[in-house]
Structure 1
Amino acid sequence: MLPSENRLRRREDFATAVRRGRRAGRPSLVVHLRSGATDPHAPGESAPPTRAGFVVSKAVGGAVVRNQVKRRLRHLMRERLAALPPGSLVVVRALPGAGDADPAQLARDLDAALQRLLGGGAR
Structure 2
Amino acid sequence: MLPREHRLTSGPDFRSASRKGRRGGSRTLVAHLWAPEGVEHPVRVGFVVSKAVGNAVTRNRVKRRLRHLVRERLELLPASGVLVVRATPASGGASGPQLAADLDQCLSKVLPNRLSSPAGAGALR
TM-score under structure 2 normalisation? Answer: 0.88
Runs of 4+ in 1 over 6 A off after TM superposition: none
Q: How many residues align?
A: 115
Question: Which of these residues, 57, 69, 72, is aligned with residue 65 of structure 2?
Answer: 72
Query: Which blocks of at least 5 consecutive residues in structure 1 are unaligned?
Result: 41-46
CA distance in 2, matches of 1:121, 1:29: 20
- 1:32-62 CA distance string (max 9 Å, x none): 00025x135xxxxxx4200000000000000
Partner of 2:5: 5
CA distance in 1, matches of 2:38, 2:46: 18
Question: Which of these residues, 93, 113, 120, is aligned with residue 115 of structure 2?
Answer: 120
Query: Which blocks of at least 5 consecutive residues in structure 2 are unaligned?
Result: 118-125
Among the aligned pairs, what percent are the same residue?
Answer: 54
CA distance in 1, matches of 2:92, 2:54: 6
One-letter code aligned to 2:92 = G
Question: Which of these residues, 81, 87, 97, is aligned with residue 90 of structure 2?
Answer: 97
TM-score under structure 1 normalisation? Answer: 0.89
In the alignment, structure 1 residue 21 sits paired with structure 2 residue 21:
yes
Partner of 2:81: 88
One-letter code aligned to 1:6 = H
